[in-house]
Amino acid sequence: MSQQSPYQILGEEGIRKLAHTFYDVMDELPQVEKVRKMHAVNKDEIKQKLTDYLTGWMGGPPRYQEKTGTVCLTEPHKPYAIGPEERDQWLLCMDIALERTGASDELKQMLKTPMFRIADTIRNRETSEQEVKDPNIIAAG
Ligand code: HEM
């Protein structure tokens, strides 16, 4: 018996619900302030983009690729400082969104490692500390 893809398990509507809930969680959760502040207040557009992206990534039609010509997420994330803390905040929103949309334990298990991998690939710095821009600060202490 071949395993079902996340796309087959969730369906179009399930993926749309997951992506929308994900950004609703981001809007609400006090502990994800860092990632919330990076995003536009109006999340209509990003909700659609994440729905498109996840649809292809989960084994369905490649909607994001059809619209943008790529599945590479490095470029669109370049303007943002994404360290381990930001990555983990993003993943926390996803965990809660999966919980809220009633995902099965099997699906959560299936997504855990690949979701971490893609988020860690998007991470573009080693630490989440702010860079020290003024070299004189060293002498100030
Ligand atoms: C690792 C932590 C991540 C952070 C902090 C982050 C943050 C962001 C931000 C700030 C934007 C721009 C939002 C806007 O335009 O208002 C964005 C865009 C986007 N993100 Fe992420 N993201 C992360 C991980 C991910 C992951 C793991 C995925 C997919 C599974 C993803 C999918 C997308 C997509 C599809 C876009 C839209 C890109 C476009 O404009 O074509 N992100 N992200």
Flag whether 115 is in a domain.
yes
Beta-carbon contacts of 16 under 8 Å, excluding residues fewer than 6 positions away, are 51
Residue count (the chain): 141
The per-residue pLDDT for range 56-75, each reduced to its tens digit, is 999 999 999 999 999 999 99
Flag whether 131 is in a domain.
no
The per-residue pLDDT for range 95-136, each reduced to its tens digit, is 999 999 999 999 999 999 999 999 999 999 999 987 556 666
d(CA 136, CA 125): 23
Flag whether 1 is in a domain.
no
Domain CATH number, residue 23: 1.10.490.10
Bigger pLDDT: 89 vs 139 = 89
Flag whether 141 is in a domain.
no
Of 119, 131, 126, 133, which Cα lies nearest the Cα of 35? 119
Flag whether 63 is in a domain.
yes
Domain extent, residue 104, equals 7-122
d(CA 83, CA 17): 27
Flag whether 132 is in a domain.
no
* Mutate-to-test residue for ligand 1 from 32, 43, 46, highest number of ligand atoms within 8 A of CB: 46
Whole-structure pTM value:
0.92
Of 70, 69, 87, 72, which Cα lies nearest the Cα of 124? 87
Ligand 1 contact via 38 beta carbon (within 6 Å): yes
Question: What total number of domains does the chain contain?
Answer: 1
Flag whether 39 is in a domain.
yes
